[in-house]
Amino acid sequence: MLKGKSLLTLLDFSNYEIESIINLSFSMKSFVNLNSVPKTLENKKIALIFEKPSTRTRISTELAVKLLGGTSIVLSKSDIQLGRGETVEDTARVLGRYVDGIGARVLNHNSLEILSKYSRKPVINLLSDVSHPLQALTDFMTVKERFGTYTNMAFIGDGTDNVLTSLMEFVSKMGLELRVASPKEFRPKQEVWRRIEEESEKSGAIIEFYEDPYEAVRGVKVVYTDVWVSMGQESIAEEKKKKLKDYKVTRDLMRYASKDAIFMHCLPAVRGEEVEDDVIDGHQSAVWDQAENRLYTAMAVLSLFI
């Protein structure tokens, strides 16, 4: 039973619960296509907090609330500044009196934990500096849609990436295989990796790290990348780009993957940096399916948790 719980990290849930979210995501896609969406959020109010700018997350989540019959109140950085002036605890207490649930895209993951604790309402992680669970759920929905099952994946680029963290969490819970190609200095922090490693031992998941991207993608069905420089990293942008320049997804790299491999990217992409145009625009690209599926995953999560 997920109703009333917060979704801050996938590690908090069983493989059965994670699978139930994926299954409902597929159902929501069918409901939308049939124009028969259940109004599971009717008479419910959802606060959507965006400390960081957003395109796909804001549109998909706001639209999900609307399709499910709810009302969304969008608060951007100019409307709300968590922990600056008013404490996050006080903001949470007030929001908890007004709304039935909170979705938040925050600069600091700790803000999510405080919002959940003090609002006493379900809080959905729409992205933090640590993780992005909605994206990982969307990604593996897309993988299952393409192949009929979950399959092995290689992530190329920054091993400290927040989307990668959630991909690893999903893999560790579901007993899958993930290869990560990155320079040694771009590996997950120990506090992040510790719990993922523990879950992997329980499920039989295999998560391996490589320095050679060609070795990492050999024979895999999914090749995934993300931007090299996230918001807030502008001061180290040029240094990161130099260190990651050999981790670009190219047509040549894709040839080492399985013949039926797909390319994935959570977007926005910096074309010419982490991926070449002819890959993201090519026949192996599943990027636009991913973007569409964000809506259905958001609908599933909102319906189950709020």
Is 71 marked as binding a ligand? no
Helix/strand/coil for 72: strand
Q: Write down the catalytic residue from 132, 139, 161, 265.
A: 132
Is 56 marked as binding a ligand? yes
Among 196, 225, 221, residue whose Cα is nearest residue 208: 196
Q: Write down the catalytic residue from 58, 179, 265, 294.
A: 294
Is 134 marked as binding a ligand? yes
Is 142 marked as binding a ligand? no
Among 81, 80, 44, 82, residue whose Cα is nearest residue 64: 44
Q: Write down the catalytic residue from 58, 179, 266, 290.
A: 266
The CA distance from 226 to 211, in Å, is 17
The CA distance from 250 to 278, in Å, is 8
Burial (Cβ within 10 Å: 0-12, 13-18, ≥19) of residue 137: buried
Q: Write down the catalytic residue from 58, 135, 179, 290.
A: 135
Alpha-carbon separation of residue 267 from 90, 139, 226, 270 (angstroms): 33, 12, 7, 9
Is 265 marked as binding a ligand? no
Bond preceding residue 183 cis, omega within 30 of 0: no
Is 187 marked as binding a ligand? no
109 labelled catalytic? no
Is 294 marked as binding a ligand? yes
Is 266 marked as binding a ligand? yes
Is 160 marked as binding a ligand? no
194 labelled catalytic? no
Is 12 marked as binding a ligand? no
179 labelled catalytic? no
Is 226 marked as binding a ligand? yes
58 labelled catalytic? no
Q: Write down the catalytic residue from 58, 105, 179, 265.
A: 105
**Token pair of 236 as six digits:** 């180290």
Q: Write down the catalytic residue from 158, 179, 226, 290.
A: 226
Is 54 marked as binding a ligand? yes
Per-residue b or e along 145-161, where b marks 16 or more CB atoms closer than 10 Å to that residue's CB: bbeeebbbbbbbbbbbb
Which residues are tagged catalytic?
A: 105, 132, 135, 226, 266, 294
Known binding-site residue numbers for carbamoyl phosphate: 54-57, 81, 105, 132-135, 266-267, 294
Known binding-site residue numbers: 54-57, 81, 105, 132-135, 162, 226, 230-231, 266-267, 294
Known binding-site residue numbers for L-ornithine: 162, 226, 230-231
